[in-house]
């Protein structure tokens, strides 16, 4: 049994080996890579990505990345392709086949059928002398010196190289398409990521109402307003203009500092220049503003007009944090 130091060294060696393989790949980004990017940019169809074994798993991830960054893509398992899935391929599609050796039996059976379709064929391959490489229109070289596996057998370094090559393709395409965070949000509407990109303050504005007191309101009226609306604060106005905010914290500090509160009014205990945000801003920006100022509420405005309060709990309920 190895001790902790030996285990950590083993892990570091794996990472260094895979990092070196990726660094070496930078020298093998050829004109073929640029041609593939330009071909996909002008493609009327989809990108069909295929592979067998571990390469098939990498193919599925590349498909997912392409789809989420604006390039329509479909996964086709190399073994299933010759049993009916070749029907996936349409006239205007481009095909990418991923294989370390480029000579696996399933790949050698599949390639002749792919060539019959007349679609452009891209090989992400680790053997430039292989059957796949010889048949491909474009070659993306993912050759590695050795696998991180101590027996140099289990796909480790090679699959890392394949995955990185797919990422390089997807990111180049994303950049050239001018694919923005707004575009990204269209494909990620669910979960925290999507909500951060599209959910606006007005979408999470508290349904508890619009707490408000005049600047001359009594402390009793202030406390009633805070309690009624359950937002931990009330806005102080004067002639329909926001002049301050009173929070639960302000009430506690008042009780600590004043024996007789009957002589006080809202303007005496409010915090001036309260933080606010426009309702059309992203909800995640409201969270960042709260965090930066160590507060739990923000006054929400609609073109400068007070429309309500957004509370930290409203953002937590939406799951964007």
Confidence of residue 50 (pLDDT cuts 50, 70, 90): very high
pLDDT of residue 189: 67
pLDDT > 80? residue 213: yes
Q: For the segment 171-197, what is each residue's pLDDT rounded down to a tens digit?
A: 999 999 988 777 776 776 666 777 787
Strands (E), the chain: 47-51, 73-77, 94-99, 121-125, 138-141, 212-214, 233-238, 241-247, 276-278, 297-302, 305-311
pLDDT of residue 220: 95
Compute the average pLDDT of residues 114-132.
Answer: 96
**Can you give the pTM of this predicted structure?**
0.71
Q: How many residues appear in the chain? A: 321
Answer with the residue of higher pLDDT: 178 or 125.
125
Q: Mean of the per-residue pLDDT values for the chain? A: 93
307 within 8 A of 301, measured Cβ to Cβ: yes
Euclidean distance between CA atoms 40 and 168, whole angstroms:
13
Strand-strand pairing, 276-278 and 297-302? parallel
283 within 8 A of 316, measured Cβ to Cβ: no
3-state secondary structure of 192: helix
Answer with the residue of higher pLDDT: 189 or 99.
99
3-state secondary structure of 271: strand
pLDDT of residue 190: 66
Q: For the segment 264-281, what is each residue's pLDDT rounded down to a tens digit?
A: 999 999 999 999 999 999
Burial of 248 (0-12, 13-18, 19+ CB in 10 A): middle
pLDDT of residue 317: 87
Cβ count within 10 A of residue 207: 7
Domains of the chain: 4-179 (3.40.50.10490), 201-318 (3.10.580.10)
């Amino acid at each position: 049994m190895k001790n902790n130091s030996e285990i950590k060294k083993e892990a570091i060696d794996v990472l260094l080996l895979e990092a070196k393989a990726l660094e070496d790949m930078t020298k093998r980004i050829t004109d073929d890579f640029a041609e593939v990017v330009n071909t996909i940019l002008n493609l009327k169809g989809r990108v069909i990505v295929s592979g067998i074994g571990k390469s098939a798993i990498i193919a599925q991830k590349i498909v997912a990345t392409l789809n989420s960054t604006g390039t329509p893509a479909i996964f086709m398992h190399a073994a299933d392709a010759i049993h009916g899935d070749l029907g996936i391929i349409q006239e205007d599609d481009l095909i990418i086949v991923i294989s370390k050796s480029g000579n696996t039996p399933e790949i050698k059976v599949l390639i002749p059928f792919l060539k019959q379709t007349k679609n452009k064929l891209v090989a992400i391959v680790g053997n430039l002398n292989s059957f796949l490489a010889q048949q491909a229109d474009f070659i993306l070289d993912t050759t590695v010196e050795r696998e991180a596996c101590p027996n140099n057998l289990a796909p480790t370094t090679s699959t890392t190289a394949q995955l990185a090559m797919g990422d390089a393709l997807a990111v180049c395409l994303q950049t050239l398409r001018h694919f923005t965070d707004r575009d990204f949000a269209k494909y990620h509407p669910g979960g925290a990521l999507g909500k951060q990109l599209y959910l606006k303050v007005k979408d999470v504005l508290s349904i508890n109402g619009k707490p408000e007191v005049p600047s001359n309101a009594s402390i009793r009226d202030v406390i009633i307003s805070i309690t009624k609306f359950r937002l931990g604060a009330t806005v102080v106005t004067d002639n329909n203009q926001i002049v301050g905010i009173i929070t639960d914290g302000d009430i506690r500090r008042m009780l600590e500092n004043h024996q007789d509160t009957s002589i006080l009014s809202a303007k005496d205990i409010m915090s001036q220049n309260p933080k606010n945000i426009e309702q059309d801003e992203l909800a995640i920006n409201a969270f960042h503003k709260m965090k930066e100022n160590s507060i739990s509420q923000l006054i929400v405005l609609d073109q400068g007009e007070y429309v309500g309060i957004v509370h930290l709990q409203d953002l937590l309920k939406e799951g964007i944090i």
